[in-house]
Amino acid sequence: MEFTAQQIADFLNGTVAGDPTVRVSGFSKIEEGQPGTLTFLANPKYEHYIYNTRASIALVNDSFEPSQPVSVTMVKTPDAYSALARLLSLYEQSKPVKSGIDATAFVSPTATIGEGCYIGAFAYIGDNASIGDGAHIYPFVYIGDNVQTGKNSIIYPHVTIYERCVVGACCIIHAGAVIGADGFGFAPQNGEYKKIAQIGNVVLEDNVEIGANTTIDRAVMGSTLIKRGVKLDNLIQIAHNVEVGEHTVMAAQTGIAGSTKVGAGCMFGGQVGLGGHISIGDGTQIGAQSGVISNTKAGSKIMGSPAIPVNKFMRSSVITPKLPDIWQTVNRLEKEIEELKKTVKQY
Amino acid sequence: MEFTAQQIADFLNGTVAGDPTVRVSGFSKIEEGQPGTLTFLANPKYEHYIYNTRASIALVNDSFEPSQPVSVTMVKTPDAYSALARLLSLYEQSKPVKSGIDATAFVSPTATIGEGCYIGAFAYIGDNASIGDGAHIYPFVYIGDNVQTGKNSIIYPHVTIYERCVVGACCIIHAGAVIGADGFGFAPQNGEYKKIAQIGNVVLEDNVEIGANTTIDRAVMGSTLIKRGVKLDNLIQIAHNVEVGEHTVMAAQTGIAGSTKVGAGCMFGGQVGLGGHISIGDGTQIGAQSGVISNTKAGSKIMGSPAIPVNKFMRSSVITPKLPDIWQTVNRLEKEIEELKKTVKQY
Amino acid sequence: MEFTAQQIADFLNGTVAGDPTVRVSGFSKIEEGQPGTLTFLANPKYEHYIYNTRASIALVNDSFEPSQPVSVTMVKTPDAYSALARLLSLYEQSKPVKSGIDATAFVSPTATIGEGCYIGAFAYIGDNASIGDGAHIYPFVYIGDNVQTGKNSIIYPHVTIYERCVVGACCIIHAGAVIGADGFGFAPQNGEYKKIAQIGNVVLEDNVEIGANTTIDRAVMGSTLIKRGVKLDNLIQIAHNVEVGEHTVMAAQTGIAGSTKVGAGCMFGGQVGLGGHISIGDGTQIGAQSGVISNTKAGSKIMGSPAIPVNKFMRSSVITPKLPDIWQTVNRLEKEIEELKKTVKQY
């Protein structure tokens, strides 16, 4: 499929600066722009690329004022990045859609499959499981007994959903994620550990996206709860009985210990660790690699391990490499003061 | 199934305070207690909930003395938490048990399957593999050639066990775990890396539990060894030729580099990293996110990266945010001393 | 198979010191040496083991001069470690090789399978996928539509390769790795997050090895690129649009945020985190658990979070535990100087 600059501008309610008849059939990054593709400029840091890009069309912000001549045709919209997102989404939706239940899939006779579902080869749907309308269940997905999934959810290959867990509507679960494995609960007993049965489940509300190989453990009792709109990146660990508030996002490799409650609208960098049984206020922002062991108030911005306010962390980080100098100076000053005290005493 | 408070007290050798005829059919957390459920109070921090819980029965310690009237019926035992564990376990055991070899499973003609096993749909059992009596092998489990698993082990979906690895009796391996992938061994050669064949295996002894998506690499020669009773949480990395001592527990996302030996009865927090070729003494406790690069003595309690004794770490952590102040003060003192020296010299 | 010391020396172009007729049929570590096995001594730290090892043959460096009598027969070569690697590789190659397409595999009628491939039970090969000659595709591998894999690549069980990704020749992808899941891209919109379609792919060039459960996300546009000879350990996260240069190696649990470019010949320790949109110079060495948030020059050696030159990090780390002392001393000195100033003023 090809589109002209004018067609794209019309779709986006934007305007064309340049040749409205130029055509594109794909996308490229601005630094790698190829003829016949559309690129975009949202971050001013990359502005210099637009003066030499070989792409045919560039999405730019209305506010963009070139400081040099540009040869690429520009499509101007109020927000180039979200305009791009709309185009990418359109492109994605043009892909052929899979449907039907593959003959090799294992579907329990007591399971319920909604209308318009795709159940891929070798997928496994357990007893009394219920798959919502329009779901995409890829090959090798394991849906345990009594699992429920909502409408239009997409579950990629090799996802495991243990028995009795619940997945909302319009969720996306990437390959290899494990939903509902046993929480890590053991009672010490005579120098050994006795397993505590984990009889709860995991509930993902609507519009949740779970990254590849992320693990979310079932509750010991009740539910580990991931609320509406939460986005979790890859290789994240969510322990038993954790709750994550609406529209919170976490970058990859973050880990949250048991029973911690995370508020709504939080943003965590990568490789963050949260202790157990704490409460993270709404809108908390936590820098990458931080370790958090106590409650945070709503709107906190923290970093470090243990985490402190981010501005304090930044200022301390600058000083840390000077520690050997500080140590040396303090030792020297100590001696100098001793000398001074002696000298002064003599008077 | 429903039970009365009296029946539960009898099972636990406990006593009833309240209505012995009240009935429950499930469990709930004390802060979310629902009528018809049993809850528990073990941590004094949660005591205030017991005065308002809507649960019908609460397990409490014999030593618990309410400071206000309680309406919930209490079942008293010496240790409410372990009593709860017994009840949860009973509940878990009442679930229907799967058995038999699914018609879609791939079982090599040279494999040996013990009595009373469950081999789920699409499971794969390789040549000369041996599956112990009573094992539960879930769908999509890959058991490589010449693998041996002990009696009554449970292997959840999408677990991969590479050839020649050994799993003991009563082990539990959660979904997506990978046992026996090649160790990360390469020899530099003319600016490239040449793979060193990893011809060893992994041995899990009895009563080991491995978390979801955890990876344990095969030894270059000999065995990577996880000893009896070890419990590993999710997303842990164990490199080649590591040994983990009996009844050691590690929280999620911990990583251990090659050839390191971890003693018995250790406890590691989450996201801990251990360097290679070191030795961790029995009973060592390592705080979350620590980095350990040298040997530890038995009974050490360490934290930080690089790790130091935990009390030292705690005290230093408090001072770290003051570093900018310290820096400023030291610079000021330096100048003041210079001034003083000049002044004193004048006399 | 058994070999004599003389046969081994001939194969390695080495020399025998001891009994050239002694036979071995396997390998062992020097500290666990068993009769009938071959061991090696490369690291001088382990020298003391050679005087007592029960192994029958020990590979040693030409330069090795025993300080005590040795009873084990030695085979001397210029580099014992690479000689060992050659023997291990020979041993590995003697294993039976799987071949053929299993009857239970799902192969799309539009897919192309090269000559001499092994396609295991329950493997899934999507539409228009192309599998290079001599590939080993293990059970439960998911090869998405339009994926291409090069010659002689080995893809272990439960690997997921999303549509349109490209795998070079002679690659090894370990169990559970996920290649091409969506990058973590969302645009904030009225307090929620709107998914940005990720329409790019992942390209692995030749001779790349990917560890178990490692995840490499597809680009938003263009390709996430892992260049020739790169070796990634287990549980690593590579975000969308990252590029990793030739022959770079990364230890387990490292994470790299979006659009970062890593140079050639770099070495990263375990649990390293790299921020997004930065550039890491060729040959950069990054210590375990470091956090890197800005560009590095070629040949940098850095450590810490945030990372600083490794020698600075080491020196600062020694001082960190002294922070409480420093704090106390500085406070004391401050008072003493006040006293001195008063005293001096009196004169």
Cis bond upstream, residue C20 (ω within 30):
no
Point out the least confidently predicted range of A45-54, B209-218, B276-285, C240-249: A45-54
3-class DSSP assignment, residue C124: strand
Q: Which residues contact A116 (CB under 8 A, 6 or more apart)?
A: A99, A133, A134
pLDDT at B347: 67
pLDDT at C22: 96
Judge contact between A39 and A30, C-beta under 8 A.
Answer: yes
Judge contact between A255 and B270, C-beta under 8 A.
Answer: yes
CA-wise closest residue to A276 among A258, A263, A250, A253: A258
- B187 and C82 within 8 Å at the Cβ level: the answer is yes
ipTM of the prediction: 0.94
- B322 and C327 within 8 Å at the Cβ level: the answer is yes
pLDDT at C42: 85
Is the CB of C36 inside 8 Å of chain B's CB atoms? Answer: no
- A211 and C181 within 8 Å at the Cβ level: the answer is yes
Chains touching chain B, criterion 3+ CB pairs below 8 Å: A, C
- A106 and B139 within 8 Å at the Cβ level: the answer is yes
Q: Please pick, among A136, A174, A240, A277, the residue that the annotation labels catalytic.
A: A240
Chains touching chain A, criterion 3+ CB pairs below 8 Å: B, C
pLDDT band for position A347 (cuts 50, 70, 90): low
The DSSP string of A258-272 is TT-EE-TT-EE-TT-
A-chain residue closest to B94, CA distance: A199
Chain A residue numbers with beta carbons less than 8 Å from the beta carbon of C223 are none
Mean pLDDT, residues B288-312:
97
HSE on the CB side for B134, CA within 13 Å?
Answer: 9
CB neighbourhood size of B65 (10 A):
6
Mean pLDDT, residues B115-125:
98
3-state helix, strand, coil in chain B (%, to 5): 20, 30, 50
Please tell me the distance from the alpha carbon of residue B147 to that of residue B108, in angstroms, as a whole number: 12
- Mean pLDDT for chain B overall: 95
Mean pLDDT, residues A155-165:
98
What value, to the nearest 5°, has the Cα angle with vertex C262 and ends C259 and C264? Answer: 150
In chain C, the N- to C-terminal Cα span, in Å, equals 95
- A253 and B252 within 8 Å at the Cβ level: the answer is no
- Give per-residue pLDDT as tens, A97-151: 899 999 999 999 999 999 999 999 999 999 999 999 999 999 999 999 999 999 9
Q: Are strands A209-210 and A231-232 parallel, antiparallel or unpaired?
A: parallel
- Mean pLDDT for chain A overall: 95
Judge contact between C238 and C221, C-beta under 8 A.
Answer: no
Chains touching chain C, criterion 3+ CB pairs below 8 Å: A, B
Judge contact between C197 and C219, C-beta under 8 A.
Answer: no
pLDDT at A44: 86
Q: pLDDT in tens for each of the 347 residues of chain C?
A: 789 999 999 999 999 999 999 999 989 888 888 999 999 998 888 899 999 999 999 999 999 999 999 999 999 999 998 899 999 998 888 888 899 999 999 999 999 999 999 999 999 999 999 999 999 999 999 999 999 999 999 999 999 999 999 999 999 999 999 999 999 999 888 899 999 999 999 999 999 999 999 999 999 999 999 999 999 999 999 999 999 999 999 999 999 999 999 999 999 999 999 999 999 999 999 999 999 999 999 999 999 999 999 999 999 999 999 999 999 999 999 999 998 888 887 76
pLDDT at A175: 98
Nearest-Cα distance to chain B for A144, in Å, is: 10
- A305 and B289 within 8 Å at the Cβ level: the answer is yes
B-chain residue closest to A139, CA distance: B140
For the sheet containing A201-204, what is the strand order?
Answer: A112-113, A130-131, A148-149, A166-167, A201-204, A223-226, A243-244, A261-262, A279-280
- C334 and B330 within 8 Å at the Cβ level: the answer is no
HSE on the CB side for C325, CA within 13 Å?
Answer: 13
- A321 and C312 within 8 Å at the Cβ level: the answer is yes
Is the CB of A209 inside 8 Å of chain C's CB atoms? Answer: yes
pLDDT at A342: 87
Please tell me the distance from the alpha carbon of residue A93 to that of residue B194, in angstroms, as a whole number: 43
CA-wise closest residue to A220 among A194, A239, A204: A239
Q: Least CB-CB distance to B197: which of C91, C247, C337?
A: C91
Is the CB of A320 inside 8 Å of chain C's CB atoms? Answer: yes
Alpha carbon of C241 to those of B298, C64, C217, C237, C268: distances in Å?
46, 48, 8, 12, 19
pLDDT at B142: 98
Is the CB of C190 inside 8 Å of chain A's CB atoms? Answer: no
3-class DSSP assignment, residue C236: coil
B-chain residue closest to C344, CA distance: B344
Q: Counting one residue from A and one from B, how many pairs have CB atoms under 8 Å apart?
A: 185
- C186 and A249 within 8 Å at the Cβ level: the answer is yes
Judge contact between C163 and C183, C-beta under 8 A.
Answer: no
What are the residue numbers of the active site of B? 240
Evaluate if residue A324 carries a pLDDT over 90.
yes
Q: Least CB-CB distance to C212: which of B106, B215, B275?
A: B215
Chain A residue numbers with beta carbons less than 8 Å from the beta carbon of B234 are 178, 181, 184, 215, 217, 237
**Residues in a beta bridge with A285:** A267, A301
pLDDT at A341: 86
What are the residue numbers of the active site of C? 240
Mutate which: C213, C316, C345, vs B, most B CBs within 10 A: C213
Please tell me the distance from the alpha carbon of residue A58 to that of residue A24, in angstroms, as a whole number: 10
- C253 and B239 within 8 Å at the Cβ level: the answer is no
Is the CB of C91 inside 8 Å of chain B's CB atoms? Answer: yes
Please tell me the distance from the alpha carbon of residue B292 to that of residue B302, in angstroms, as a whole number: 9
Q: Counting one residue from A and one from C, how many pairs have CB atoms under 8 Å apart?
A: 186
B-chain residue closest to A325, CA distance: B327
pLDDT at C275: 98
- Give per-residue pLDDT as tens, A32-89: 889 999 999 988 888 999 999 999 999 999 999 999 999 999 999 999 988 998 999 9
pLDDT at C347: 67
Is the CB of B319 inside 8 Å of chain A's CB atoms? Answer: no
Report the C-alpha dihedral over residues B197, B198, B199, B201, rounded to 10 degrees. Answer: -170
